[in-house]
Structure 1
Amino acid sequence: MKTINLTYVFLAIIALFTTVSCVNDDDYTVPDLTGTDPVFADGQVTSVEALRNLFLQEGETVDLSDSTQYVEGYVISSDEEGNWFEEIIIQNSASEPTAGLRVLIDESPLFTYYEVGRKIYVKLEGLHLGESNGVLTLGVTENLEKIPAPLQFDYIERSSIVETIVPVQTTIADFSEDLENIFVQLTNVQFAKEEVVDQSLTFAGEATDEFDGERIIFSCDSEQTVLLSTSTFASFKSVLLPTGRGTISGVLTRNFFGDTFNLAINDLSDVMLEDENRCDPVEIDCGLAAVAGINVLFEDDFDGQTVNSPISGNGWTNFIEAGSEQWEAYSSTSNSVSIGISARVGAFGSGDASTISWLVTPLVDFTAEDGETLEFLTSNSFSDGSTLELLYSSDWDGVPANIPNATWDVLPAAYITQDDDNFREFYESGIVDLSCVEAAGYIAFRYNGSGAADFDGTYELEGVQIKAN
């Protein structure tokens, strides 16, 4: 019995060594994960910024199949918590970066090899450089497909260098293509009131969240917004959104369609909203009235204005708080219903870092009447991230320069046209009930945008009527 057992052991050992030898012969090599630095010839390494400039020059997908170079960069994304999938984002520097790049890899997870801060080198031979989902991307074939999993270690070399990624301090107004695929930080922001005060939403755990949960980040400084996009596969998808304000860090990317900016985090440590003092604007919400008043307190259809000239007369105050754009008279035949002249504002082609434009009615005494109502029409052209707000103030002194310093409360009941509305149509505000306004004051239409492509939308205003019984 002892002889038979020793024989089996001996045969097993031989089989084991034979198996190992076969694996080595098939060259199933295990990648070097110690982080030893690869050695490159002079000129063999290029930068993310150089690739970005190449794409901008070509204006279309670039075939890098014959390239002998590698692109170097620092990893800024992590799929450890499931919010990224089969892709890594790199930028050209751990601090003060100037360009970023997405690399598609048919493998998950990736954080075990390419953790945040790790410097890596990506071989360009056999790849294409182009735009996918609106951002600069490296992939296989002109369709920018994912690098096959068995080839990932042929394409990606790890450096021994691991740096701390320093987020770029920026604002929503400063978002641009130059910041895409870069790790940024927004300060003095919070999640929108309707998501954490009026409701208690999670990051991406609602029944209506199909692939991603999109939540509104609100800037307390500029009152502009951007969407935080969270995968429904993220481990933290069912965590409630924090209600405070503070900082949010993440990779600036775009939505699936590539038409609007999104922010994407790696994990919950990127969201630091610890200040319990929110910056929600005060709202005066009387709701919508069943019928409008019968006595006109103020009205304007703008037909008396001069096309392409600033809106003036009839008690209007046309004020520029920031930028260079005023409300102007406008006429177009592209609308499905001819309405004559309207008031228009927008930042397209302005070059403005910030555009804030006000159109304010004359003083209306809401104490002298009962059942006051407001109606108007709005239309837009590619409003994108620009906004138009309806506001009320009882403490503005009538001096244009003092408009920004007055207290302006939001009138939320009115419908103002949205980005996905048909640009050929004018949309009714509804009959906005102002009966709960208890002091004489001013109604204002405030435009907030910039010359950046994602914030340079145009709005049109028509048929303003304030009535009472």
Structure 2
Amino acid sequence: MNIMNVKKRVTVLLVTILITSCVQNDDFDIPVLAIEESVIPESGIIGIGAVLGSLAQEQLKDDAEAIITFDTPDQFVQGYVISSDRAGNFFKELIIQNAKENPTAGIRIAIDVNPMFTSYEFGRKVYIKLAGLSLGISNGVPTLGVLDGKVIGQIPSFSQNEYIIRSSEITTITPLELGIEDFSNNKLSMFIKINDVQFNKDAVLGTTTHTFAAEPTDQYDGERILESCTLGYSCILSTSTFSDFKGVLLPEKQGSIEGILTKNFFGDAFNIVINDPTALVFDNPERFDFSCGTADIAGTTVLFSDDFETQTNRKPITGNGWTIFTQEGTETWEAYTSDGTNPSQGISARVSSYGSEDERTIAWLVTPSINLDQQEGETLHFETSNSFADLSNLDIVFSKNWDGNPTTIANARWITLSEGYIIQNSDDFDEWYSSGIIDLSCETGVVYIAFRYTGSDTEDFDGTYELDNISIDYN
């Protein structure tokens, strides 16, 4: 064999080895690396809650876009990793919380590193050096990174080991159990568990079951409605269209979900993001749906109605079988009329947390009992308006097991009437919007229908809703 052929064969062999070794494959084992435990004095550790508190103080003095920059040497925050990019649902971010169970604070770290799960496994304790980093609100979530003009940018990859120090401790994370109704800004970036939830029936009970994030309309993220099977509240499960499980079908049953509480890209709505599909345990076949849909025309005979014209302006709604109940806070449904730029239709029912100074507001307006077995073809119609709803929420729910006692409202099972349209914050605040005609005819038994308002005195959640021309009819 001549020397040139030997060289060619060796070259081909080397190229083949190089090509094979460069094939991208994220399904690999995490390397076992020895960690030399860093000695960080307790005096240099600042709690995540304290760091977030410092930002909140600056926001009060300055504005919601305030940013603080750390320059004191040898200061660290410590926490436990609760995010994982192994399945591709997180990208160039690390989320930590301050305790392995019953956390009280969490924070996001923006860093130009991918993947991260090979170094920062779920449950690993880490220390974040603060000097040189800045903290601000990014996409509605407190985020640590480097200051890039007037925004929080990513920590450069070459600074990874300078700012993030691994501990040898890897622990079990116990999720914080919350109801959707308990979501708040001070629960952001925590690993939570929500029990008794299901996906909206339109995504799983129609002719085609939706995937997590592989529908033609999904861009960047797939957003799927999760509904509480106990109190009727709903939230969004957000999944990246780059995740490994984007094409997995959503489960039809109900159950529990574990994930991180965060916000959407615009920072104006709470989202749940999971590390991978094992976070869902949907093993209960019993669903709670209102599935009559909409009707083409309303019933011809009035069963219950109210236009609130007999109410006294600025006084709580009374009479006509209504139950009003303030579950949290001090605000309630009251009669209201206005001739300004947001005119009422005569007198309407209004509720608002604006100026209440209440940390949280939940106010109920409930119809008298409606017996759906005594007639046929029942329908519901109403109209809504608002004054800058912000992130406050009005939803329409019904219950078949509430006993009529206001003090037991929170313990009853309420199911969302998802077909009825309610004015959105993006709609014109000086207009009134029809709910459409909601078909009630497939339900049976005695039900209560409730208009439930959720808000607070914080700027993001302090909106106002008005309600008018409610009519339940039948044929």
Give TM-score scaled by structure 1 length.
0.80
- Counting matched residue pairs gives 432
After TM superposition, the structure 1 = structure 2 runs for residues 377-396 of structure 1, keeping only pairs within 5 Å, are 377-380=383-386, 381-382=388-389, 384=391, 386-389=393-396, 391=398
Question: In 2 relative to 1, CA 358–415 (structure 1 residues): closer, same or farther, beyond 3 Å?
Answer: same
After TM superposition, the structure 1 stretch with the greater mean CA deviation from structure 2, 378-387 or 356-365, is 356-365
Contact 1:173 1:224 in 2 (8 A): yes
Counterpart-to-counterpart distance in 1, 2:443 and 2:32: 73
- Matched residue, 1:305: 311
2:361 equivalent to 1:322: no
- Matched residue, 1:126: 132
CA shift digits 1:101-137 (9 cap, x unpaired): 1111111111111111111112212111111111111
2:75 equivalent to 1:69: yes
2:449 equivalent to 1:444: yes
2:180 aligned to 172, 179, 195, which one? 172
After TM superposition, the structure 1 stretch with the greater mean CA deviation from structure 2, 184-193 or 377-386, is 377-386
Counterpart-to-counterpart distance in 2, 1:408 and 1:119: 40
After TM superposition, the structure 1 stretch with the greater mean CA deviation from structure 2, 343-352 or 235-244, is 343-352
2:168 aligned to 135, 139, 160, which one? 160
Per the TM alignment, residue 173 of structure 1 is displaced from its structure 2 partner at its CA by 1.5
2:272 equivalent to 1:263: yes
2:234 equivalent to 1:225: yes
Counterpart-to-counterpart distance in 1, 2:42 and 2:411: 59
Question: In 2 relative to 1, CA 305–172 (structure 1 residues): closer, same or farther, beyond 3 Å?
Answer: same
Question: In 2 relative to 1, CA 158–462 (structure 1 residues): closer, same or farther, beyond 3 Å?
Answer: same
2:102 aligned to 85, 92, 96, which one? 96
Contact 2:372 2:378 in 1 (8 A): no
Secondary structure of 2:55 counterpart: helix
Contact 1:367 1:438 in 2 (8 A): no
After TM superposition, the structure 1 = structure 2 runs for residues 30-69 of structure 1, keeping only pairs within 5 Å, are 33-41=33-41, 43-59=43-59, 60-69=66-75
After TM superposition, the structure 1 stretch with the greater mean CA deviation from structure 2, 295-304 or 146-155, is 295-304
Counterpart-to-counterpart distance in 2, 1:366 and 1:403: 23
| C-alpha RMSD of the superposition | 3.5
Per the TM alignment, residue 458 of structure 1 is displaced from its structure 2 partner at its CA by 3.7
Counterpart-to-counterpart distance in 1, 2:412 and 2:51: 48
Question: In 2 relative to 1, CA 71–326 (structure 1 residues): closer, same or farther, beyond 3 Å?
Answer: closer
Segments of structure 1 that go 5 or more residues without pairing to the other structure are: 1-30
Counterpart-to-counterpart distance in 2, 1:116 and 1:409: 35
Per the TM alignment, residue 52 of structure 1 is displaced from its structure 2 partner at its CA by 1.3
Amino acid at match of 1:357: W
Counterpart-to-counterpart distance in 2, 1:89 and 1:268: 18
Amino acid at match of 1:44: G
Per the TM alignment, residue 85 of structure 1 is displaced from its structure 2 partner at its CA by 0.5
Question: In 2 relative to 1, CA 232–468 (structure 1 residues): closer, same or farther, beyond 3 Å?
Answer: closer
Question: In 2 relative to 1, CA 48–292 (structure 1 residues): closer, same or farther, beyond 3 Å?
Answer: same
Counterpart-to-counterpart distance in 2, 1:468 and 1:362: 15
Question: In 2 relative to 1, CA 371–179 (structure 1 residues): closer, same or farther, beyond 3 Å?
Answer: closer
After TM superposition, the structure 1 = structure 2 runs for residues 2-401 of structure 1, keeping only pairs within 5 Å, are 33-41=33-41, 43-59=43-59, 60-141=66-147, 142-198=150-206, 199-278=208-287, 280-285=288-293, 287-289=295-297, 293=300, 299-313=305-319, 315-320=320-325, 322-323=327-328, 325-346=331-352, 349=356, 351=358, 355=362, 357-360=364-367, 374-380=380-386, 381-382=388-389, 384=391, 386-389=393-396, 391=398
Amino acid at match of 1:204: A
Secondary structure of 1:43 counterpart: helix
Per the TM alignment, residue 219 of structure 1 is displaced from its structure 2 partner at its CA by 1.2
Per the TM alignment, residue 371 of structure 1 is displaced from its structure 2 partner at its CA by 7.2
After TM superposition, the structure 1 stretch with the greater mean CA deviation from structure 2, 348-357 or 79-88, is 348-357
Per the TM alignment, residue 383 of structure 1 is displaced from its structure 2 partner at its CA by 6.3
Segments of structure 2 that go 5 or more residues without pairing to the other structure are: 1-30, 60-65
Counterpart-to-counterpart distance in 1, 2:72 and 2:443: 73
- Matched residue, 2:18: none
Greater CA radius of gyration, 1 or 2? Answer: 1
Contact 1:246 1:273 in 2 (8 A): yes
Per the TM alignment, residue 330 of structure 1 is displaced from its structure 2 partner at its CA by 1.2
CA shift digits 1:382-420 (9 cap, x unpaired): 263633216587x99988788889998876654332343
Contact 1:325 1:357 in 2 (8 A): no
Per the TM alignment, residue 159 of structure 1 is displaced from its structure 2 partner at its CA by 1.0
Counterpart-to-counterpart distance in 2, 1:51 and 1:411: 41
Secondary structure of 2:210 counterpart: coil
Per the TM alignment, residue 365 of structure 1 is displaced from its structure 2 partner at its CA by 9.2
Counterpart-to-counterpart distance in 2, 1:328 and 1:412: 24
Contact 1:367 1:439 in 2 (8 A): no
Contact 1:387 1:447 in 2 (8 A): yes
Per the TM alignment, residue 43 of structure 1 is displaced from its structure 2 partner at its CA by 2.3
Contact 1:104 1:138 in 2 (8 A): yes
Amino acid at match of 1:388: D
Counterpart-to-counterpart distance in 1, 2:155 and 2:406: 59
Contact 1:202 1:241 in 2 (8 A): yes
Counterpart-to-counterpart distance in 2, 1:401 and 1:258: 34
Amino acid at match of 1:359: V
Instruction: Indicate the percent of aligned positions where both proteins have the same amino acid.
Output: 41
- Matched residue, 2:428: 422
CA shift digits 1:228-276 (9 cap, x unpaired): 1111111001100112222111111111111111111111111111222
- Matched residue, 2:20: none
Counterpart-to-counterpart distance in 1, 2:134 and 2:413: 54
Per the TM alignment, residue 45 of structure 1 is displaced from its structure 2 partner at its CA by 2.6
Amino acid at match of 1:275: N
Counterpart-to-counterpart distance in 2, 1:83 and 1:284: 35
Secondary structure of 1:55 counterpart: helix
Secondary structure of 2:161 counterpart: helix
Amino acid at match of 1:272: V
- Matched residue, 1:14: none
- Matched residue, 2:9: none
Counterpart-to-counterpart distance in 2, 1:179 and 1:367: 46
Question: In 2 relative to 1, CA 438–257 (structure 1 residues): closer, same or farther, beyond 3 Å?
Answer: closer
